[in-house]
Structure 1
Amino acid sequence: MTTPTTRAVPAESARHNAAAVVRTVLAHGPLPRHRIAELTGLSAGTVSRLTGRLADSGQLVEMEPELGPSATGRPRIPLDLPVEETAVAGVHIGVLRTTLGLVDLRGGVLAQWAVPRGSTDPRELVDELAEALADLTAWQSHRRLLGIGVSTGGWVDTESGTVVEHGPLGWHDVPLHAALAERLDAPVRLDALVRALALAEGWYGAGQETDSLLELFVGNVVGAAFTVGRRIHRGPRSAAGGIAHLRLPGVEGVLCGCGASDCLQAVLADGSVLQLARGQGMVGQEESFEDLVRLARDGHLGAIRLLRTRARSVGRAAAVLLDLVNPELLVLAGGPLKTPEYLPDVRAELARHSSLGPAAATRLVPSGLGDHALVLASAAVFLNAWFSDPLTHHLP
């Protein structure tokens, strides 16, 4: 008699192998079955069975046959993802605006919009988002919307679908996933922005060739995420990576909501640096962090000094994280830190404070997601689940 444990093994193996097939087609483009077998290391029979199931469910589509017959005399028919027929929505709920867009299965951004922040009330925000998404999807009505990935800053418990804490928005224990699922017509997945960025780096960005990756995000919020083989380490209640209140001795910022002035949020966050700049008379009360960055680019020495000081503090924080986790790659995302003006300061301070010395600087790279990082990262929240278990999906 077969036990439940032994019955589960073939199913798990099929899930794993199907994901490998889809990832291979994603990475290499349209491929005939024999080439998929070569690249995945799976047997021809296994590939034939899996691609048949994936084609029947719409996960793979047959392309025009390749010129010239195969060794068996049959034309080779490449298989590809349904890139032209489908799309995924990516939505980032930020402090100043909501950024949303449509992404194809290969990470091509089809459209991107920014909606200025209206209310911070979660229900009103979800209503605004639903209306904007309806307009966006109508523009690409020939594509089937597979699902919606949503990201936001702060502490997001993905299992419960709750934003546990998002200080800049004033959110505590907000059941955001339930509100989204109730209002939107497509499947929704929710995660924290920094974890979404780490997933997107693995699929489309700087981490495509690495097994382990640490994402460090510094913007209106500060956070980190660690992946191994594109799998995020979350910990209980998805609290892993909560570094906002990690102390940085010897560095003073503004007074944080936690009561400290030397935690990462108080020293590194955009709003904290902007508050320091206002206190020093560099910018007015109505001016934004972007205005401070432009001031530095225009040659204002005080603004340059302030942003370079922040970059060096980021390097110190990165050294602690690199030594603690020891990933193959440390990816820096958010704001101007990853630009040529400030990246050398980050790397220099990282090398100075890490136990790895100068070698530490070689592991730090800027995000590879470009100007569409927020949309790509948010879409990756949904796409990661889609690609990880393709046998559970069906496209009519």
Structure 2
Amino acid sequence: MTTPTDRAAPAESARHNAATVVRTVLAHGPIPRHRIAELTGLSAGTISRLTGRLAGSGQLVELEPELGPSATGRPRIPLDLPVEETAVAGVHIGTLRSTLGLVDLRGGVLAQWAVPHGSTDPRELVGELAEALADLTSWQSHRRLLGVGVSTGGWVDTEAGTVVEHGPLGWHDVPLHAELTARLAPPVRLDGLVRALALAEGWYGAGQRAESLLELFVGNVVGAAFTVGRRIHRGPRSASGGIAHLRLPGVEGAPCDCGASDCLQAALADGSVLRLAREARLMGPDEPLETLVRLARDGHLGAIRLLRTRARSLGRAAAVLLDLVNPELLVLSGGPLHTPEYLPDVRAELVRHSTLGLAAADRLIPSGLGEHSLVLASAAVFLNAWFSDPLAHLAAAG
């Protein structure tokens, strides 16, 4: 007798094989079917069936035939992703503004806009985003919008679709996914910023060849995210990576809201460093972090000391995470990349405190996403789902 599990197995196999085919085209395309079979080990029949479905829905496109080795040989039809015909929107909701962009299926950024927040009320903010996204997509109207990836800081429960907490925006238990899907026609995927950055690193950034990757982000908040095989670890309620209030003896920063001054938020976050700079009267109350960086580059010893202390504390934090998780790569993103002159201090402390010793230095690398990191990370939230289960998106693709 056929059981539900028996019936599910072929469907699950088809989903896995379809993802393998699409990822192979992403990595090697344009590419003919016989070459996909060689690279994946799938049978010619399986390749033919899957590529037929995927091409029929517009997830793959057939290009002009190529002749075989001889002029009379059978034509080979290369397959590729619909890079020129489609786009994915990436939307990052920040504290003061949102950053929107359009990205093609190979991670090329087609456009990027910044939209200052007129309101932090979730419904009003989503309404502003919907209007801005409509304007943005009209600029590339010849492209089919496949979906929208959205990221934001704070604690995002991906499965529930809620922003559990985002202190700077004053959000608590906001049903953001529901608000977005009510205003946007394409499929929407939502995740936290640091997890989104980790996904983007695996698809388009520094971690494309890494089996495991740990993203360490330092900005207004401090967070981490872990991927294995481009699959993100979220944990119950997507609470993994919440390292902001991890206390680390030996580091010291500005007093944190949690009551400690030796947690990572207190020692590493941009706001904490700014608070220390203002208390030391290095800068005025409304001046940004860029002012502190400029002072340090002009030789101001107090500014240099603050930024170097942060770099060394970051190295200690990286050592703890590297030893705990042992990823192939530990990717650093956020504010410290704007002061590359202090990265040697980060690595020196990492080597000093990690059990890996000198080998630890090779594990730590800066983000490879560049100036479009927010858009790429946000788009990767949707693209990760698209490439991981293309058969689930057949209707949206067609």
Conservation of the 8 A alpha-carbon contact between 1:69 and 1:76:
no
| Distance across 2 between alignment mates of 1:81 and 1:226 | 28
Conservation of the 8 A alpha-carbon contact between 1:338 and 1:367:
no
| Distance across 2 between alignment mates of 1:168 and 1:298 | 31
**SS across alignment from 1:135:** helix
Q: How many residues align?
A: 396
Q: CA deviation at 1:39?
A: 1.3
| Distance across 2 between alignment mates of 1:316 and 1:166 | 26
**Can you list the C-alpha shifts for 1:148-205, whole angstroms capped at 9, x where unaligned?**
1000111110011111112222222111111111122221111000000010011001
Matched, 1:94 2:94: yes
Q: CA deviation at 1:329?
A: 0.6
**SS across alignment from 1:91:** strand
| Distance across 2 between alignment mates of 1:117 and 1:230 | 32
| Distance across 1 between alignment mates of 2:373 and 2:328 | 21
Matched, 1:80 2:80: yes
Conservation of the 8 A alpha-carbon contact between 2:104 and 2:110:
yes
**Can you list the C-alpha shifts for 1:327-386, whole angstroms capped at 9, x where unaligned?**
111000101337531211111111111111111111000001111111000000000001
**Residue identity opposite 2:357 in structure 1:** G
Conservation of the 8 A alpha-carbon contact between 1:254 and 1:267:
yes
Q: CA deviation at 1:306?
A: 1.0
Partner of 1:114: 114
**SS across alignment from 1:393:** helix
Closer, same or farther in 2 for the Cα pair 1:117/1:275, shift >3 Å?
farther
Closer, same or farther in 2 for the Cα pair 1:125/1:273, shift >3 Å?
same
Indicate the larger mover: 298-307 or 181-190. Answer: 298-307
Q: CA deviation at 1:237?
A: 0.3
**Residue identity opposite 1:156 in structure 2:** V
| Distance across 2 between alignment mates of 1:338 and 1:292 | 12
Q: CA deviation at 1:251?
A: 2.0
**SS across alignment from 2:304:** helix
Taking the TM superposition and a 5 Å limit, the aligned residue runs for 1:221-300 are 221-300=221-300
**Residue identity opposite 1:29 in structure 2:** G
Closer, same or farther in 2 for the Cα pair 1:96/1:70, shift >3 Å?
farther
**SS across alignment from 1:38:** helix
Q: CA deviation at 1:71?
A: 11
Q: CA deviation at 1:72?
A: 9.1
| Distance across 2 between alignment mates of 1:385 and 1:124 | 28
**Residue identity opposite 1:227 in structure 2:** T
Closer, same or farther in 2 for the Cα pair 1:71/1:223, shift >3 Å?
farther
Partner of 1:65: 65
**Residue identity opposite 2:119 in structure 1:** S
Matched, 1:174 2:174: yes
Closer, same or farther in 2 for the Cα pair 1:382/1:70, shift >3 Å?
farther
Taking the TM superposition and a 5 Å limit, the aligned residue runs for 1:2-17 are 2-17=2-17
Partner of 2:200: 200
Q: CA deviation at 1:87?
A: 0.5
Partner of 2:148: 148
Partner of 2:323: 323
Indicate the larger mover: 343-352 or 301-310. Answer: 301-310
**Residue identity opposite 1:53 in structure 2:** R
| Distance across 2 between alignment mates of 1:376 and 1:388 | 17
Give TM-score scaled by structure 1 length. Answer: 0.96
**Can you list the C-alpha shifts for 1:214-260, whole angstroms capped at 9, x where unaligned?**
00000111100000000011110001111011002122212212121
Conservation of the 8 A alpha-carbon contact between 2:293 and 2:339:
no
| Distance across 2 between alignment mates of 1:356 and 1:336 | 23
Indicate the larger mover: 51-60 or 124-133. Answer: 124-133
Indicate the larger mover: 166-175 or 189-198. Answer: 166-175
**SS across alignment from 1:99:** strand
Q: CA deviation at 1:300?
A: 2.9
**SS across alignment from 2:151:** strand
Q: CA deviation at 1:29?
A: 2.2
Conservation of the 8 A alpha-carbon contact between 1:64 and 1:78:
yes
| Distance across 2 between alignment mates of 1:119 and 1:296 | 35
Taking the TM superposition and a 5 Å limit, the aligned residue runs for 1:346-357 are 346-357=346-357
Give TM-score scaled by structure 2 length. Answer: 0.96
**SS across alignment from 2:357:** coil
**Residue identity opposite 1:302 in structure 2:** G
| Distance across 1 between alignment mates of 2:304 and 2:70 | 62
Conservation of the 8 A alpha-carbon contact between 2:67 and 2:73:
no
Matched, 1:388 2:394: no
What RMSD over aligned residues (CA atoms) do the two structures have, in Å? 1.6
**SS across alignment from 1:47:** helix
**SS across alignment from 1:358:** helix
Q: CA deviation at 1:81?
A: 0.6
Indicate the larger mover: 65-74 or 165-174. Answer: 65-74
**Can you list the C-alpha shifts for 1:54-102, whole angstroms capped at 9, x where unaligned?**
1111110000112445799311110001111110010111123211100
Q: CA deviation at 1:41?
A: 1.7
